[in-house]
Structure formats: structure tokens, C-alpha cells
Amino acid sequence: MRAIPLLPLLLGGWLVLPAQADDAQDMLRRLAQAEQQQSFQGTFVYERNGSFSTHRIWHRVVDGKVREHMLQLDGSAQEVLRVDGLTQCVSGTLVSGITNQPDSPARAFDPKRLSAFYDINIVGKSRVAGRNATIVALTPRDQYRYSVELHLDGETALPLKSLLLNDKGQLLERFQFTELDTHDIPTDQMLDATADCKPVQAAKIKSDTPPVPAKWRSDWVPEGFQLSSSSVRKDPVSKVLLTSLMYDDGLARFSVFIEPLNGAVVTDIRTQLGPTAAVSRRVTTAAGDAMVTVVGEIPIGTAERIALSMRSTDTQPKQTAG
């Protein structure tokens, strides 16, 4: 991982303004509204793990309906079309593994909730893509999540730039506009997907089929993280029931996946790519061994502790060697 020690460089700018928690929370409230109310188009760069990519985005809001079209401009051709947060089609390497859950919770900034687990302060001013911005820092009050620095547009409160930082101030992920237009509303043509964009079908649940409850829970998650969604589905190939749980604290998210092994030989995994940690651990239950995998933009130590805390509600599992 290419670590960039930003903290010493940023501190000089952060001292320009005193901490203003109330104003910072007001900026977050504006941000929460902006992406649901403000149309825009622009070009942004994305960096993680030392790799950069450039993207074009068209975002239009009409009568409360949000339509968004994104294209990757360099490297492999990738495209995404979303309507009201639900993916309609994708192309390139994004095709594999994409699923849609209509009840998947949208990420929204709730300053009151976040302030219980993050110190939220205005720490300076900046200029991004030729626009004046206010810098809002969200610093966690524990070691179980990352810091976030948001450069919010002074006119619209849209995020012009965001940095994800570890506890040493090293850069894990960067999003930054290089050009942003908030006045010219994207046209229908700009928002139309290309022929290469493959449709993504939302999972359909029969009205007469009751949902299968997830039979797993966690004995420990960092304070503030709540279970936001859970699902149990049958794998079309193996026919086994796969459980997925999603947790969030209003800013960070992680997912837990549980798969019965049915005698398969597997190895425990512990890896991190940029901000994304992935930890897999095998557990034993009365029904047999299962593989528990935790994936999310959280420190790897947090992911490991969560994986070790997963329990079957049918019986108490015991940890086994990988």
C-alpha cells in the first residue's frame, strides 16, 4: 500500500479556523440534502492502493427522482447506471457479483447519530476544481473505524473531495473532482447507458413466500454500528443457504457473509487492499462447519474481531483452526 502521510501537511491548514462543531454538523445536513436535490455533471479522479482512475459522472434530480450515469475514462471500460440508488446496468469487470436489493439502505449523513462516535469539526478552507470549499473532518473516537475528511462545495455542499485516513493520517482512499458543473442539467442523452451496459435485475420475492430469517448474530461490533439489512438466499449452483448481514454506523459499512462448507476444505484469510479489509474464519456449529467472511472499509483488526464474534442462533459455535 502506498501510504501518503498527509497529517503533518494538513495540520497547518486545519489551524486556520477554530473547531466549529455546530457549523460542521450544519454542513453535513446540507450534504445529505444536496445529492437528493442538486443536479450536476463533472469529472473526478479516484485513488486507492496507489492506483488512479478517472471518471465522468452525470447526476440529475427531477421531481425527486435521482438518475446517475458514470463512465470510467481510462483503463478498463466500466459503466454504471443508477436510478434512485438502485443499479440498473453495469459493464466491464463490474458485471460479476453485482446484485440489487430494493430494500438496501441508502447512505445518508445524520449528524446527530455520527456525533456520538465521531468528532465533527470544520478545520479549514480549500479550493477544489476551481470552487471554494469548506473542510469538515470526522475523527473517530475509537480505533475501530477510519477518519474522513470532506471538502464540501461552498455553493451546493456537494463533496468536491474526500479523503479516507487511517489512525496515522495515511491516505487510504481519495475521491476528488477535477471539474464540476452544477448549472447545466444533464440531458437524456448524457444519462442513457451504452449498449455494453448489462442490465441488473432486482431480486424478486414472491408475496406468498415469507422471508427466511438470518440465523446468525454478532456478539461484538464497534459501538454505533447497527444491523441495517440481512438476507438469506439459496445459491443457484450449490443449493445451500447463504446468509448476508450488513452493518453501518451512518458513515462506515461492513458486510458479513456466512456459507456452509459441507465438508469442503478451506483456509482462513486475512487481507487488506487500501481501506478494504477482508477476513474469513471457519466456525463449527451443530449443523456443521461454516465460513464467516467480513468485508468492509474498516481496520483489519476490527474485521477480525467481528468475524470471531459471529454466533449461530441455533447453537453456540466454537472457533476451529483454519
The model's pLDDT over 291-303, given as tens digits with 9 standing for 90+, comes to 999 999 999 999 9
- Beta-bridged to residue 280, according to DSSP, are 269, 293
The model's pLDDT over 212-253, given as tens digits with 9 standing for 90+, comes to 567 898 999 999 999 999 999 888 887 888 999 999 999 999
pLDDT score, position 213: 62
Helix (H, G, I), strand (E, B) or coil at 141: coil
User: For residues 1 and 105, which has the higher predicted lDDT (pLDDT)?
Assistant: 105
pLDDT at residue 8 tops 70: no
The model's pLDDT over 182-221, given as tens digits with 9 standing for 90+, comes to 999 999 999 999 999 999 876 544 444 455 567 898 999 9
pLDDT at residue 279 tops 70: yes
List the domains of the chain with CATH numbers. 13-199 (2.50.20.10), 216-319 (3.30.200.100)
Helix (H, G, I), strand (E, B) or coil at 12: helix
pLDDT score, position 288: 84
pLDDT at residue 1 tops 50: no
The model's pLDDT over 111-167, given as tens digits with 9 standing for 90+, comes to 999 999 999 999 999 999 999 999 999 999 999 999 999 999 999 999 999 999 999
Quote the pTM value: 0.83
d(CA 289, CA 262): 7
The C-alpha torsion from 7 through 13 and 15 to 21, rounded to 10°, is -90
Task: For residue 108, name the pLDDT band (cuts at 50, 70, 90).
Answer: low
pLDDT score, position 202: 61
Q: Which residue type sits at 142? A: D
Burial letters 143-174, b for 16+ CB under 10 A, else e: ebbbbbbbbbbeebbbbbbebbbbeebebbbb
User: For residues 37 and 17, which has the higher predicted lDDT (pLDDT)?
Assistant: 37
Least confident stretch, 66-80, 138-152, 191-205, 274-288: 191-205
Location of C-alpha cell 440531458: 187
Ranked by mean pLDDT, the top range of 10-24, 117-131, 252-266 is 117-131
What share of the chain in percent tops pLDDT 90? Answer: 67
User: For residues 226 and 20, which has the higher predicted lDDT (pLDDT)?
Assistant: 226
Task: For residue 287, name the pLDDT band (cuts at 50, 70, 90).
Answer: confident
d(CA 227, CA 62): 32
